[in-house]
Every structure is written in C-alpha cells, then in structure tokens.
Structure 1
C-alpha cells in the first residue's frame, strides 16, 4: 500500500484502452503480477521510508483486538498491517529501522501508545496527549491554566493539574478581600473539560492534585462523592489525587496532629489528626476508587540528578498516576507543562526479544522520533508543553503482559519465582534503556536539561509503567500493564459486537487436560472468572490462574516495590480489595506501599459483586477512569464509551 500518492516504483509499459499492458509480451505477465503483489505489501508515507508488511501476521490479532483497531485506530481504507506500517514508516530513522519497527509491532514485541497508533503519520492529531501543569496563585495564573486546559482537552489530551499553590478559602487576598478557595476554580475546570470534550471524537480528561498539607484537603477528598456537602462544590467529571509526604506518613504512624498550611507563607491555618485524615483518604478510596495517592518524597528523591541540581520539583501526576515530571516555573524563568511520550514492551513475548541487543535501543530511538514530531508540530497554544518536551525529552517506556508472562511459564503471581523474574526483567529493561539514552546523546546530543550540567543523557526520564488499556488488547489480549488479570473469562462489548474473551493460557491447559469444554467454561463464568473450584487442577495450577481479587494484595505491592528502583518515573498500580475489607488491612496495604518505596497508587478496586460475564472494566481497561467509582455499589458492568476513553491519553 502506497499512501498519499507516493509511488512504490515505476513499472515499464503502458496500459491500453482495453486494459492490456503494451510493450511487454505475455511471457512477462507473471512478473507484473509479482510486482503488483510486492507493491501492495509496501507501506510508505511521503518523504519517509518504505516498509514491507506481512499480512499473515493478522493471525496474531484476536477478534477483540481487531474490533478495537476497527473502532478507534484505522484510517479509511487502512488494514491492520497498513496501520503498523504507517507508524513504522513515519517514525523510522532510516529504512532498516523502519522495517524493524514494523516487525516489532506486528509481532507484538511492543506496542506504541494510543495517540501514536491513531495519529502517527496523519494530520488528524498529535502523537502525544499526556500533559501535566499547575495553577499559580493569582487570577492570571488560574485563567492561564483554564485556557491551556481548554486547548489540551480539545486535542483529546489527558491532563493532570496541580492546584496546591492556591490559597485556601477565607485567606486574605488584596487589601480587604478573602479567597473563595481552590474548589470553585476546580469546578470551573470540571465544566470546561466536559464542555470541550463533548464535541470531540476522543474526549479530553483531567485529574486534579492537591498536597496533603493544604487547608482544603478534607473537602478535596470528597470532591467526587455525589452525595453529601454542597453540590456546587463538587467536580464529578474530574479525577483527583493527593500528594502524600513522608512527614505525613510518620505523623500517621505516631498518631500526631497534622498542620494544614497556607500555600502563600506556610503559616499554620489549623491542625487535624493525621490518622483521621488518613482514614478519610482510605475510606474515599474504598468507596469511590479515588483519590490516587502520590508519595511525593519518593518521587522527588528519584528525580534525575540534573533536575535536582536545577531545582525542578515534581508536584503532580497525570490521569493514570505513573507520570512524574516537573511543572511550573523552571530555572530559566519559563513555565513548563510536562509532556510524556509512552509505549510498552510486551512481556508475553519476552522470550522472543530478550536476547536481541538492538530491540530496546530501536524502541527508544522510536520514542525520540515521536517526541520530536510532537515538538515540531505542536501548535502555539501548547508552547509550554513544547518547551518542556524540548528541554527534558522525557519518555515513558513501559510494559504489559506481566501476569500473562507468569501464567505462560506456570509461575504463580504469589511466589518467590515471580519476584525473581520481576527483578530480572526490569533490571534488563532499565539497563538497555540507559544505554540507549547515552548512545543517542552521543549521536543526537543530550537533552538541554542534561547538557546544562554536562550529563550525557538524551532522555531525562526513560521509564514509566502505564496501564496499557487498549494496546494490551491489540497485542493479543495480554494482561494490562503490570497488574493481575481480573477474570479468566469475560464478555467484552464493543461497537462491533460482544466478544467472549478467554484466558488463552488457561485454554491451553484445559486442552492438555482434555477439559476444554463449554461446561467447564460456563462453570468458570458462574464462579466470577475463577478456577479455584475445578477439582481436576492441581493447587499449583489454581495458584497460577488466580484472579486479581483472589490474590493477597501484599504481593501486588511487593512486586511494585521490587521493580521501583528500575523505573525512573512511576507505575500505575491498582489494588483489589473486597468490599468488607477490615480497616486494619486497608491501612496496612497502603502503609506498606509507602514503607517499601512505591511512588504512587492508582485505583483501589473494591467490588462487592464481580461477575465474570461483565468484567470488561477489569480486563479491557482496568486502568480506565471509572465514572461510577469503584465502591460497593459498583456492579462491574460493561465498560461504557466514557470509561474507555478516559485513559486513552496514556494508552
């Protein structure tokens, strides 16, 4: 397929009016046919490199994966392999690199993030839509944030905004005035985001963040609770997160009072019980799934050294709580809106690529090209984002298929063997990413932030573990991100119809046992996607195929903590708890995350009813922003269009 009128080559001879080819005798006709077939299997964008596609690789796509591509990614007249070829052709550094990229993507070794697949090599949008910014404590600063967010949302952007600079309600402003606080301004942002998004093909979405020391933190925690309090001080269409410091967690441990401070001058506005505030945060997470938690000291301690030297601070995160980049005024007096460019390696294909010395280097080069494409094409309304991307060149290489990899190798999630694999895999990826960054710095130059301090790094940050939403579906229904699967069978409803999705590793095991029957699968469905009732499975096999809610969540935190040193940004980590979990256990899981050095926690999934026939919220987009929340009232129904679109800004 040759796109936009680009010729794949000249064929000697001319066509006559009757459709025959002049100037060639009939003996050459098979050669013409072969040439036509060859050209039909070449994708090339104007001014970019040709990529030869292998259409037999459609067989690697599942019906669900094809439906996902059909619904959201393909250009008119484009096939699945053409899509992969388009992205590879456009972002390949040379012909050989472009061909390798296509092979990696089509073989499901890695998958670019949603904006890259959708928009790469097209004029319909930008290849990055993950942004972080902050509001300054002035009317101009607030309005500037609103204006920027309007433009970002109109482009389908996912936005994480920090509001902790604003004075709280009742503080002095001007000569005789009093502030109305943070909440009314957040509510306006809520309305703006919703209004702009409603007319868009892909909805923009936003999350708001506040530090745990802010005087309005208690009301902020309840921001998304639909009942109780003043409805005019709610923001039900936004997502929210709390930045939690080490000092606060120590106060919780010691049962101390906690000072709430004026953002203007750090004076104490009032004091509250640290444990009481912590309980409110955890209760909201159980009942609503949010707020997200960002352990801000862990995040800032892990900043690259050149950002520490520059005094750049991380104050906020994104929609999925895995991006941790500096925002606001930098050392050059310029405002930054952080940008992150994402793609994910597929651990399910680990054995195919682990010994390939060029693979991760190629993916990092690809991400550098995607980032440059954003810098070159971002409109003036995104000047702060373009500037930040140019200065720090942060990317987020992530993974998907961790649980699928374990299951393929008959390794229980709750095991020392899984711990060993976890550390081995992420140590390998980080070492390769670091080497690629240094090599690219030699070839293309270090990013300006690093160059200011004589550091030879192309990327300020290299890794972040995104949820992987739809791209894990495209990559053969791999398990999302680094989290456990929600069910071994579920029904997924899409625009193309409903798909019963079975765990293929379990499917293979049942076939080996002669038990791959509709009756067995029906029993799994009736047992909420669980296999624990199947008496013909060994205990080891039952352990391998435990679902998210059947796992001891301490193992989720254990694995997250073990891989944290290798991930320069953060991880989208969901925890899965029963609705009747004891408050002590709820506290211990969250406290363990802080104690073990985990940087962030995404959703707290708490479902009183988990039906395997409608668990799409878990498998297709466990990382989706969940409109109804994740509390006991949630019936785990099929994901709505809104659910699906919330997190496409990441993946």
Structure 2
C-alpha cells in the first residue's frame, strides 16, 4: 500500500493432490497465489505508484509446469495471476539434466519424494518459450547464488531461497542460525555512468554513496513500524545494501561505442571493477568507524555490509536523471512513448538528438521520419 514491492517464496507449499493430516488432499499452490494476486491488486488501488509482488518457485516443484503459465492470458482464468511477477529457482542438478537430456524428478516439498518425472530439456524449452512470450519468469540460479554468498554468512548456515520483486538482490530469508525469522531488505542506489568522468577520480565518491546507503538503512531500522520487525532484524544483522549502475548504454553512446562490441565489454569490466573496489573499501572504513554488522562480527570479519552491489532496474530514477538509459539495459528505441501512472510522454535518444542538432536536423520532420521508419535514421 506504500507503493513498494515484495518477493515471496512458495517452494515449501505442498503440491496439488498431496495428502494432509486426516482425510483430504491439498489444493496446491495456484489458488493461494491467486489470492495473493487479488490482494496485491486490491491494496494497489488509489496509489500513484502501485504496489507489486513476485512469487518464486523451485524448478523441481510438482506444479512447476502450471506455475510457468500463470501470467499467460489464456486457459482457465481462475488459475491465472496476471498482476503478479514470477520467478524460478534453477538448480545445478536441473541444468545438468538439461545438458545430458535426462529425465528430471519433481519432488514433494513435504517429504522429498519424487512424485513425477519430466524431460528436463522439454521443461527448459518451455521455460524459454514462455520467457520469449511474456518476458518472465525470472531465473535465479540458486546453487550459484548460494556459493557466491559472503563467506561469513555461509559459515553461519544462511541460505538464499528467493529474490525480490525485480530479482536483483539475493539475501537470506526465513529462519536463521539463531532461530529468528528474517525478511530481506532491499536498500538500493545507482550511480549514473553518464557522469563517469566526473566521479571516477574522486577517491571519496563511492565511500560517500555507501555512507549514504548506510544512513538510509539506519533510518529504516530506527523508524520502521512494529509490523516490519522481521525486516528490521534482517537489516540490523546483515546491513546489506545494493549499489548499482544506470546510464550504461547512454555512456557508451556518448563515446561512440557499440553496445555489443569488445570495447563495451571492456568498459563494463572497468566500471564495475571500480565500483566493486570502492564499495569493498568503504565497507571496511565504515566497519572501523561504526562497527561491523553482527553477521560479520560473529565470524570475526570486519565488514559493515554483508552485500554491497545490486543491479536495480532504475526505470523511474533514470527519467529523473535527465532520461539516461535505465540500469545496464540498452535504450529500447531512438524515439518511443513512455507510459507511467502520471501519463505518457515521448522519449528521444539524447545522444542522437545532440548529433542531429549539430547537423541542423533536430526538427519535427526528422523525428517523424525516424518514427515512420521504426527508429531508423
């Protein structure tokens, strides 16, 4: 209702037809996901920025095939959830089965028993076809994610089982090693790559941004309502933040570098190496100044933040920053209509507009021609 977004994990819910205590069988995950779909739609009404939610399921859940299609506007409408986003946890075991073209077992979340086997490759093909048709589900390679967790959190036995609304953060949720429940918190900021040459030589820039994020996190901890106790606990324990990047394609266009070129890859590595080094150094500086986060301190590690980087979508803030390209994504077209809840407006490629102006061609006629030729100049 505050215009935020959440990610939820459904892999622990028994599949349709599994026995329950006494008589009867479960109705599975789909009806309950639909309840969440209706709830999300209901609490969103009247808000300028609507609330939103994503649901995540393991690839080995017995209802995975129907879950894949919950956003397709065909079939039984009572088993669709068109207002939710959805994602999959993909395991190494599944990808190995795909590579070897083997059968793959779908297991009961309750007992671990294999209830059904499917062709791993056909299931993977279905995932890819639905992604092509709808843009989803999100894919979280869960084993890779858990191997990449900070060492001090792995040593504490923490595990990632789901992601957030936009799938850019991978944090522990659920019961932790102390028996307390955590709700992961997403505290994000993004640096504008368009201004790289303005901030790259400032040794304090990344540290200042990380300090700002730490302050935002502390403000949330101090002022959050009692209903967010699990989120506050998570923020206190791990103090995870997510520093990201936006304007990457705009930056490349300013330099005249093609998006898919080797030079673009080189700039990609250079930018994120710079951000990573700055964020790591800031975490140590702030740990010395303000103290390490409890998760790190428990393992004798001097880190203020458990997680430091995240690539957020930045669809809204990139507009505020002068219309730079969102996130690390390419600009969708040289001219297009951007629709928001505040209204629709035309967005022009700023780099192209500058070149046209230099040549005296920044006119309505030129832009009409570009639209007529589907973006081609």
1:171 maps to 2:18: yes
Of 466, 473, 487 in structure 1, the residue corresponding to residue 319 of structure 2 is 473
User: 2:187, 2:217 within 8 Å by CA — same for their partners in 1?
Assistant: yes
Relative contact order higher in (CA < 8 Å, ≥ 6 apart)? 1
User: 1:329, 1:335 within 8 Å by CA — same for their partners in 2?
Assistant: yes
1:391 Cα shift?
Answer: 0.7
User: 1:281, 1:291 within 8 Å by CA — same for their partners in 2?
Assistant: yes
Where does structure 2 lack aligned partners over 5 or more consecutive residues? none
Matches within 5 A, 1:413-562: 413-492=259-338, 499-531=345-377
Matches within 5 A, 1:332-343: 332-343=178-189
Q: Secondary structure at the match of 1:389?
A: helix
User: 1:206, 1:238 within 8 Å by CA — same for their partners in 2?
Assistant: yes
Matches within 5 A, 1:171-210: 171-210=18-57
Distance 1:393 1:497, change over 3 A: closer
Of 192, 195, 208 in structure 2, the residue corresponding to residue 346 of structure 1 is 192
Query: Partner residue of 1:268?
Result: 114
Query: Partner residue of 2:145?
Result: 299
Alpha-carbon distance in structure 2 between the residues aligned to 1:498 and 1:258: 46
Matches within 5 A, 1:68-467: 154-228=1-75, 230-467=76-313
User: 1:487, 1:530 within 8 Å by CA — same for their partners in 2?
Assistant: no
User: 1:343, 1:397 within 8 Å by CA — same for their partners in 2?
Assistant: yes
Alpha-carbon distance in structure 2 between the residues aligned to 1:431 and 1:460: 15
Query: Partner residue of 1:50?
Result: none
Alpha-carbon distance in structure 1 between the residues aligned to 2:158 and 2:289: 26
1:516 Cα shift?
Answer: 3.3
Deviations 1:49-68 (A, max 9, x none): xxxxxxxxxxxxxxxxxxxx
Distance 1:409 1:440, change over 3 A: same
1:432 Cα shift?
Answer: 0.2
Q: Secondary structure at the match of 1:173?
A: coil
User: 1:337, 1:385 within 8 Å by CA — same for their partners in 2?
Assistant: yes
Q: Secondary structure at the match of 1:282?
A: helix
Deviations 1:415-471 (A, max 9, x none): 111111110110000000000001000000001111110111100000001010110
1:305 Cα shift?
Answer: 0.5
1:203 Cα shift?
Answer: 2.0
Deviations 1:212-250 (A, max 9, x none): 00001011001111211x322221211111111121111
1:400 Cα shift?
Answer: 0.4
Q: CA RMSD in A?
A: 1.5
Q: Secondary structure at the match of 1:485?
A: coil
Alpha-carbon distance in structure 2 between the residues aligned to 1:499 and 1:232: 35
Query: Partner residue of 1:613?
Result: none
Q: Secondary structure at the match of 2:316?
A: helix
Alpha-carbon distance in structure 1 between the residues aligned to 2:320 and 2:48: 20
What is the TM-score when the length of structure 1 is the normalising length?
Answer: 0.56
**Higher radius of gyration, 1 or 2:** 1
What is the TM-score when the length of structure 2 is the normalising length?
Answer: 0.96
1:493 Cα shift?
Answer: 5.4
Query: Partner residue of 1:547?
Result: none
1:514 Cα shift?
Answer: 4.2
Alpha-carbon distance in structure 1 between the residues aligned to 2:340 and 2:184: 33
Distance 1:333 1:190, change over 3 A: same
Deviations 1:150-170 (A, max 9, x none): xxxx33220100000111111
Where does structure 1 lack aligned partners over 5 or more consecutive residues? 1-153, 532-651
Alpha-carbon distance in structure 1 between the residues aligned to 2:41 and 2:360: 52
Q: Secondary structure at the match of 1:237?
A: coil
1:201 Cα shift?
Answer: 4.3
Alpha-carbon distance in structure 2 between the residues aligned to 1:520 and 1:308: 57
User: 1:257, 1:271 within 8 Å by CA — same for their partners in 2?
Assistant: yes
